[in-house]
Amino acid sequence: MTGAEAATLLYDPRDPATIADPYPAFRLMREREPVHWCAPLRGHVLTRYAEVRPLLGDPRLSADRITPFANALKPEERRGAAALIDMLTRWAVFVDPPDHTRLRRLLNAGFTPRAVERLAPGVRLVVDRLIDKVADQGRMDLIGDFAYPLPATVIAILIGAPAADIDLFKKWSDDLAGFVGSAVARPGRRETAARAACDMAGYFRDLVAERRAKPGDDIIDDLIAARGAGGALTEDELVATSVLLLFAGHETTTHLIGNGVLALLKHPREMAKLSAKPELMPRAVEEMLRYDGPVMALTRVAREDMEIACKRIGAGELLFLMVNAANRDPAAFPDPDAFRTERDAPNLAFGFGPHYCLGAPLARLEAKIAVERLLARLGPIEATGPAPEWQDTLVLRGMKEFRIAFRPAPAASKS
Ligand code: HEM
């Protein structure tokens, strides 16, 4: 058996059983080969907390996986994907210091505690309206009826776009996710993502122009006004950042709520505890992030030859830092497969180091209000229907649909 064949036995992100439950494969890799060459991904998969956390801040690794990808394209393919590549190379998440440092300082202007706080009443209103729509039915698809429209609507509020545009946002995000979130090449995805990138860029160019002409009071205005040592964000950076916010803040939060509610339903004692003591909610959200977080893999490129956990990594090779595997590492979290709402341990679900999630306070706020109001207004809830089907992307972990039932209540009641 070759090394590559042995590798596919430990982790194959295309295997339906692994897609449904990657944690047994994560444990196997952590125990047997914490730096594991994965042939289908053509990269090293790292699963232990001890390596994943420091590597997220290690300057020997680059977050720019767009330039090597673009360089590997044939000239005609590159021309077809030019707008997509141009936009992605401006996304903070793919930019290395020192450019990243400048960009990040400017982006921080849009995510001050005041900026997040001013969203709280709006988040609560959206949550209650979504619950109103289903409260008298006694059942819903937690993803389609609730966990998806909530962050999409909040993003629309955040960037001052009409709520009616959220279907457009979904289509664009799905088209981009097929490319950005998928490490295994699938035919046609690059072309679809390139079209979405052009459409999104056009949409946000218009939005930024409108806001320059008539300033409002949202994150786009904050980003337009932001000034740092290197000046303001350029027009292209403003557009790319708007698209990044739409993309990064949207499905991730959907899956935090979906996976979090699933974890509660699998642990009824924890759900009862949380219903009785809503003040535990902030810790419970941290545990949802740790236990089955929405972002599984963070990708980096080795800038130089190096050795990690006795494995040689060559310059230019890809590393997949599996935060969900590190978040279940028994060396960092006692009894890691247990879901405990009172656990108090910082986890890696929002990353670590220079690229630490900018939207973490907003995602926490949304999840806290969403789960609190679901339990208060619809509890006790239960899962119905067949086992949920999971999305087959390497990067995001989340369900396509999740049917739940609850005691029907008059639509207008707000306990
Ligand atoms: C539960 C929800 C979320 C999770 C689990 C999550 C996770 C992450 C992670 C792991 C990173 C680091 C990526 C890396 O190191 O390569 C990141 C970066 C980022 N996230 Fe989030 N995110 C969430 C929600 C949001 C929201 C709501 C927003 C904004 C509206 C957002 C905006 C960003 C941005 C702009 C970055 C790039 C930061 C940088 O590179 O400096 N995220 N996120």
pLDDT tens-place string over residues 55-108: 999 999 999 999 988 888 888 888 888 888 999 999 999 999 999 999 999 998
Do the strands 43-46 and 35-38 form a parallel or antiparallel pair, or are they unpaired?
antiparallel
Find out whether 93 and 355 touch, Cβ atoms under 8 Å.
yes
Is the pLDDT score of 168 beyond 60? yes
Least confident piece of the model among 22-26, 216-220, 360-364 = 216-220
The response to whether residue 295 sits with its C-beta less than 6 Å from ligand 1 reads yes
Please tell me the residue having the least CA distance from ligand 1 atom 15.
Answer: 355
SS3 content of the chain, % helix, strand, coil (to 5): 55, 10, 35
For 23, residues 6+ apart whose C-beta sits below 8 A from its C-beta are 324, 325, 328, 337
**Predicted local distance difference test score (pLDDT) of residue 77:** 83
Amino acid at 321: L
Alpha-carbon 292 to chain mean position: 12
Neighbours of 65 (CB within 10 A): 18
CATH architecture of 87-298+352-405: Orthogonal Bundle (1.10)
Q: What is the domain partition of the chain in residue ranges?
A: 87-298+352-405
Tokens 């050795």 found at: 307
The Cα 216–Cα 324 span in angstroms is 39
**Predicted local distance difference test score (pLDDT) of residue 3:** 43
Residues 319-324: what's their mean pLDDT? 98
Please tell me the residue having the least CA distance from ligand 1 atom 39.
Answer: 355
Closest by CA position to 262, among listed 356, 135, 388: 388
The response to whether residue 350 sits with its C-beta less than 6 Å from ligand 1 reads yes
Dump pLDDT digits (tens) for 180-198.
765 555 667 788 888 888 9
The response to whether residue 349 sits with its C-beta less than 6 Å from ligand 1 reads yes
The response to whether residue 363 sits with its C-beta less than 6 Å from ligand 1 reads yes
CA-based radius of gyration for the chain: 21
| C-alpha of residue 253 to centroid of ligand 1, in Å | 10
Least confident piece of the model among 188-197, 267-276, 297-306 = 188-197
Atom of ligand 1 nearest to the CA of 255: 1
| C-alpha of residue 95 to centroid of ligand 1, in Å | 14
Please tell me the residue having the least CA distance from ligand 1 atom 41.
Answer: 355
The response to whether residue 249 sits with its C-beta less than 6 Å from ligand 1 reads yes
Is the pLDDT score of 385 beyond 90? no
User: Tell me, what DSSP letter sits at residue 293?
Assistant: -
The response to whether residue 397 sits with its C-beta less than 6 Å from ligand 1 reads no
The response to whether residue 355 sits with its C-beta less than 6 Å from ligand 1 reads yes
Dihedral sign for Cα atoms in the order 87, 92, 96, 97: positive
The response to whether residue 259 sits with its C-beta less than 6 Å from ligand 1 reads no
The pTM is what?
A: 0.94
**Candidate from 46, 253, 296, 357 with most ligand 1 atoms within 8 A of CB, to mutate:** 357
Dump pLDDT digits (tens) for 137-163.
999 999 999 999 999 999 888 888 888
